[in-house]
Amino acid sequence: MIYRKANIKDAKEVDSLLTKLIADERQYDPKCELVIVKDYYINFIEDSNKYLFVCEDNNNIVGYIYSIIEEDNAKIDALFVLEEYRNKGIATKLIEDFISYAKDNNIKQITINVLSNNLKARKLYLKYFKPYKKENNKETLLLKVICL
Looking up residue 109, the CATH number of its domain turns out to be: 3.40.630.30
Using CA atoms, how far apart are residues 143 and 137, in angstroms rounded to an integer?
20
Which of 139 and 72 is assigned the larger pLDDT? 72
pLDDT tens, residue by residue, 27-79: 777 666 666 667 667 777 777 788 889 999 999 999 999 998 988 889 888 89
pLDDT tens, residue by residue, 62-72: 999 999 898 88
Strand order in the sheet with 109-115: 2-5, 50-57, 60-70, 73-81, 109-115, 138-144, 130-135
Sort strands 2-5 and 60-70 into parallel, antiparallel or unpaired: unpaired
Give the pLDDT score at 56: 95
Using CA atoms, how far apart are residues 84 and 32, in angstroms rounded to an integer?
23
Is the separation of the CB atoms in 139 and 122 below 8 Å? yes
> What does pTM read for this prediction?
0.81
Strand partners, 55: 3, 63
Q: Give the list of residues 6+ apart from residue 144 with CB closer than 8 angstroms, or none.
A: 108, 109
Looking at the predicted structure, is the pLDDT value of residue 86 above 70? yes
Domain count, the chain: 1
Q: Containing domain of residue 89, as a range?
A: 2-144
